[in-house]
Amino acid sequence: MGLKLREAIQGAPRISQVIHGSIVMVKRFCGGANCRCQKGHKHCSMYISQRYKGKTRMIYIPKRSESRVRCYVSNYQKFKMVMDQVTEINIQQLTKG
């Protein structure tokens, strides 16, 4: 394994800490007659939007997991960049004449 490849791989996040999807923040009313959302302070919830089996699905994320989910989605973006780097390195190595 070459030095460039090793350096690219070292920058990769752990595959076990990756989520493929986009974070979506949804604001809505709950419908409770005495709730503060009736005065314009909507409830805010986090969801992950992702393509799954050809369809878009929305997955609710509990408040206690929001920071970890943000990190995992960010890790996915980093993972994609590392994959692109590794692909370029491998193409260069395999096509050397």
pTM over 0.85: no
Q: What is the CA radius of gyration of the chain?
A: 20
Q: Do 45 and 21 contact (CB within 8 A), yes or no? A: no
pLDDT class for 8, splitting at 50, 70, 90?
Answer: confident
Q: Where does the pLDDT of residue 97 fall: very low under 50, low under 70, confident under 90, or very high at 90 and above?
A: low
- Closest by CA to 40, choosing from 28, 49, 52, is 28
- Residue pLDDT, tens place only, 32-90: 888 888 887 888 999 999 999 999 999 999 999 999 999 999 999 999 999 999 999 99
Arithmetic mean of pLDDT, 16-35: 90
